[in-house]
Amino acid sequence: MSLNNISSNKIFGGWNKQYTHTSTSLNCEMRFAIYLPPQIAQGKKVPVLYWLSGLTCTDENFMHKAGAQRIAAELGMAIVAPDTSPRGEGIADDEGYDFGQGAGFYVNATQAPWNRHYHMYDYVVNELPELIETHFPVTQQRAISGHSMGGHGALTIALKNSKNFSSVSAFSPIVNPINCPWGQKAFTGYLGKDKETWQEYDATVLMQKSGAKLPMLVDQGSEDNFLVEQLKPEALVEAAKTVNYPLEIRMQPGFDHSYFFIASFIEDHLRFHAKYFI
């Protein structure tokens, strides 16, 4: 599978690059960003943190706003940020910001017309890591993190694929999508009206089914506008209690849902993941 490099910027001794490629999972051209730390210039292979962004975001939001590259360079960690959905002419879309292009929800859609392109779960779990490990000097050590819709994606993907990741973290994740408006809209459209199928993409349900217990860190801002209606972190806390899951969840006073919040605590998250890389 060929890659097309469309941008390259040196930062903290490493390189922030963007690539496009033809995705077999999504049946369209996709774009992702990757930060390659300075250690690769010394001939070293490095572990990878996969970052999943939230509603309306692209691969650029995290790389431009989070300020993660400085710490990734110190720790010797690559960061990969895919786009949040398939995009382009001929790909199904919706007028709302919370469904369709920019809002793939990291599921495999089963309902037409979405099932032609919207297989973000397969893309993140299988295709993208294979692509990264084939084309870049990285190890097979992986961690995963994300924000909001991407936090939902990170938690559910890690819980369903615990052998693929050494740790998982999230900022302001949608932890119980089957019981919030964002999730109900997306799941009805992508997965249909059978709510039993929705449970395969709900972190609170998956946590109670998961035998493995990956290290998990969640940060949530106390002044997040979406806290009560959409995010419901208390549901994840209750799920963790029922199975004694090693969840570390921190309510951060005064912080909202923005990238100012992410930038304030991203160093904690990168150091958290670095502890579990061999």
- Active-site positions? 148, 224, 257
Long-range contacts of residues 124-127, Cβ cutoff 8 Å, at least 24 apart: 124/50, 124/52, 124/82, 124/153, 124/157, 125/157, 125/160, 125/161, 125/164, 126/25, 127/23, 127/24, 127/25
Residue in 189, 263, 63, 260 with CA at minimum distance from that of residue 197? 189
Q: Which of 223, 225, 235 is nearest to 264 (CA)?
A: 223
Looking only at the bridges linking them, the beta strands covering 28-36 and 78-82 are antiparallel
Chain length of the chain:
278
Q: How many CB atoms lie within 10 A of CB 249?
A: 17
H or E, element range at 32: strand 28-36
Cβ neighbours for 205, distance < 8 A, ≥ 6 positions apart: 178, 199, 239
At 219, give phi and psi (nearest 5°): -115, 135
Residues with Cβ within 8 Å of residue 89, at least 6 apart in sequence: none
Taking residue 165's Cβ as centre, other Cβ atoms within 10 Å add up to 26
CB atoms within 10 A of CB 245: 17
- How far apart CA 41 and CA 61 sit, in angstroms, is 26
